[in-house]
Every structure is written in C-alpha cells, then in structure tokens.
Amino acid sequence: MALPISIPLFPLPNVVLFPNVFLPLHIFETRYRAMVADALAGDRIIGMALLQPGYQSDYEGRPPVYPVGTAGVITHTEALPDGRFNIVLRGIEKFRTLEEDASRPYRLARIEPLPELTREVEREAVRDQRRKLEAALKTTLEQG
C-alpha cells in the first residue's frame, strides 16, 4: 500500500506504532474524532507521531513531535453513540514529516515514506532467529 503525500497525524506522548503491528486506540478528543471520521471517509490512513518532551505546556495546540513516525491503516472501528471511537490501526510504513498544514482542527502532515532497506537475506535471518526464539519460549512456558 503506497502512502499518500499527506496524512493526518495523531501525536501521543508514550505510544509508538511499528510496521505490521496492531494498535488499539480509544479516540475521545473532538479534534481526533474529526480526524478518524475523515480517515474513515477516505483512505483510512493515520500517522502516529511521538510527542517530544515538554509537550504538556502546549498540549491543546500543536506541540513538537519527532519527525519520524509510522503510518497505520484503520482495520477495525467501533463508533460509539457519544461520538467517540474505538479503532485498531495496523502499522504499514515509517514516514518522515516534511511540513504540517494547520487548516484542520487536527494535525495534517506532508510526508515522505521511509521504506525498509533490509535485504531479503537479512529478513530471512531475522525470521529464522524469531522462529528459534518462539520455540525456546514455548519450551520454557511448557516446562514452567
């Protein structure tokens, strides 16, 4: 799935999304309810960005975020009667924020995708090590 050139940003202080990982989120702030509604009406993509330290003094505004985040696609959604949402994002690709657009109540960023540069040989080695780790964990859990 190719990322669009512009995506909404959902900044949080202590949540990071990784590619191929699912992240459940409860959306309750008015600006982020609008963000989710717009995403659901469009390509369903939201970028997760980590807030930089000191965000508390400007939380209601647009405090600084780290420039690299991960885009996710909304795979599941539950619209609640009071306008809140429960959603699940699946991380799809890292991105770098190039600039922000302040035309909406939520943050919108022009981005550039940051594709993984891992070669297939390295990915296979990681998969092999993961299989070994999973087998070791299974053995440990069965013995304990």
Does 57 score more than 70 pLDDT? no
At the topology level, CATH places domain 6-115 in 2.30.130
| Helix-then-strand count for the chain, H and E | 2, 6
User: Over the range 109-140, which residues count as b (16 or more CB within 10 Å of their CB) and which as e?
Assistant: bebeeeeeeeeeeeeeeeeeeeeeeeeeeeee
Q: Give the model confidence (pLDDT) of 19-53 as tens digits.
A: 999 999 999 999 999 999 999 999 999 999 999 88
pLDDT of 59 strictly over 80: no
Tokens 């050139």 belong to which residue? 5
pTM of the entire predicted model: 0.77
